[in-house]
Amino acid sequence: MKTRRFDFNFRPLQINIGFAVDGSVPNKQNYDADTGTYTPDYTLTPLIIQPQVSCMDKDEFLAAGSINHQLANVKWYEIVGGVSTLIESTNTNYEVITSGGQAGRIKVKKNAQPKVPITLEFHAEFSDLRTGQLHTIVRTFAVTCGNSTMFAPQLILDVADQTIYNPLTDPDTQTVHASLRLGVNECATANRIFVWEIYRADSGTWTEVGTDTTLDYDVTVAADGASCTVNRNLMGTELYLRCRAKYDMGGNPSSVALTDAAPCKIVAFIRRIPKFEFDVTGVPINIPVGILAITPEASIWNAKGAIQNPERELLPLWYIATNKASGTLSYTQVAHGLKPTVPTKTMSASYGAVIGLDVKDVGPLCAFEDTDGVVFEDADGNVILIK
């Protein structure tokens, strides 16, 4: 009898391991000695770490993917100051899952010390079913804590960096509130002063609100300086608002000079009318002989339905052209408004006429000035605004 031997020569199994922080609690803390608080505080909201262990068999004998459910002898060690300690099930500072699809998952319920990280070392074993080889998995994960006792003041405004103003549907005024924070705490009122500024496009500079007593009619700063109201209907096409803060921990912020290092926040307000549709309605199919005028109506709508009071921002323009058997028509503007009276005198007895409708954005309210740049005012000194 002749024999031939067959041997399996498997290529090495590739094992990959990573860690995922489950939930919104990060693996880095800050400690504020002034208040004795941690952010976040793991004793209140634990940190959850999930090892993600997977394998890849180049011989395709084993299915690729997660092998957490096949891990054995799952353990975690805590290493602090170079001392390694096995985390037992009786340790109330941690909670470890040792089997199933979440094997290795650990819940951290203690806080780290500032500048002294906690190193968590993950141990597990995996048996290669092809060869019987036992793979030992060891990987570390660090939990750190920074010292945030001396926070730099942070200026926060309660509006988006860019706000789109739709004059057809949005309120005209918007109030911006400022907050100066040291860590998670609001700065004492006596220690800070807010300065509100407008960007002047004509000069390319920032100046404080109220500097131009004639044209700063669209922005009003509250008496306490902590908020600023923008009348977006009067701001033109856009407005850039900057808030800076003077801060002095000794309670004398007025003595602080504003520099580029001062807490600062810039926001923009942009006037923009979203896409809308319009059509001609209310016209007869045939115009009887002798009718001198018709009264068509403009129907204007957007994605939300019919636009209410559209003439506040939109101007319907009506045109009419004598129809022809062929060739280009010549349109003449004859009326404006939602429901105008359009004369029929240009109609051809043979081919009739064509009515056209166009709807224009009339633009924002702006100050009216002469060729020398002098702003027009009424007898009481009020600025005259036009669209």
161 by DSSP, 3-state: which?
Answer: coil
pLDDT tens per residue across span 6-36? 555 566 777 888 898 998 899 999 887 656 6
Q: What is the mean pLDDT of residues 102-113?
A: 91
Considering only 33-37, 71-75, 246-250, 293-297, which range has the smallest mean pLDDT? 33-37
pLDDT > 90: percent of the chain: 43
- Rounded Cα gap, residues 125 and 70, in angstroms: 9
**Taking 60 as the threshold, does the pLDDT of residue 63 lie above it?**
yes
The pLDDT-based confidence of 3 (bands split at 50, 70, 90) is low
User: Bigger pLDDT: 271 or 56?
Assistant: 271
pLDDT at 57: 72
| Distances in whole angstroms, Cα of residue 166 to Cα of each of 175, 232, 270, 301 | 16, 9, 9, 14
Q: What is the DSSP string of 99-160?
A: SSTTTT-EEE-SPPBTTBPEEEEEEEEEE-TTT-PEEEEEEEEEEEEEE-SSPPPEEEESS-
pLDDT tens per residue across span 161-196? 999 999 999 999 999 999 999 877 888 899 999 999
Which of 280, 277, 282, 337 is closest to 309 using CA atoms? 337
Taking the mean position of all CA atoms in its chain, how far away is CA 275? 22
pLDDT at 231: 94
